[in-house]
Amino acid sequence: MEALVASAIGMMTAAGVYLMLRQRTFPVIVGLTLLTYAVNVFLFTSGRLATNMPAIYGEGAPGYSDPLPQALVLTAIVISFGMTAVIVMMALGAFLESGHDKVDMNDDDAPVDGGQK
């Protein structure tokens, strides 16, 4: 169980970082999404893995699974979802304005004089 979760987090992080280093916005956004998935699972496991345990400790319960990381994960999921939506909109805007979706700022058509705002 631990090995499975740990390797899943590791692989998602590795894939996310690889995609993030690409030159086009779409792979970058997919990479960021994978990275946020990995971090969500990682956050979830920070309360230790416990299966079939109640979230609230009571008399006679064999133990409990820590509820706090679950609350943290919910917050993190909402935030990363919102942020991904924002970057998709901005990437779309940048693509429509400039006609291509390269991430770096050094194009051939960049204005040499700094550009007018």
Query: Using the rule CB under 8 A, is 74 a contact of other proteins?
Result: no
Which candidate, 60, 55, 89, 85, places its Cα nearest to that of 70? 55
In the complex, minimum distance from the CB of residue 39 to other proteins, in angstroms, rounded to a whole number: 5
Which candidate, 70, 87, 100, 71, places its Cα nearest to that of 32? 87
- Closer residue to other proteins, CB minimum distance, 61 or 83: 83
Query: Using the rule CB under 8 A, is 23 a contact of other proteins?
Result: no
52-61 contacts at long range (C-beta below 8 A, 24 or more positions apart): none
Total interface residues for other proteins by CB under 8 A: 42
Among 4, 42, 58, 61, contact with other proteins (rule: CB under 8 A): 42
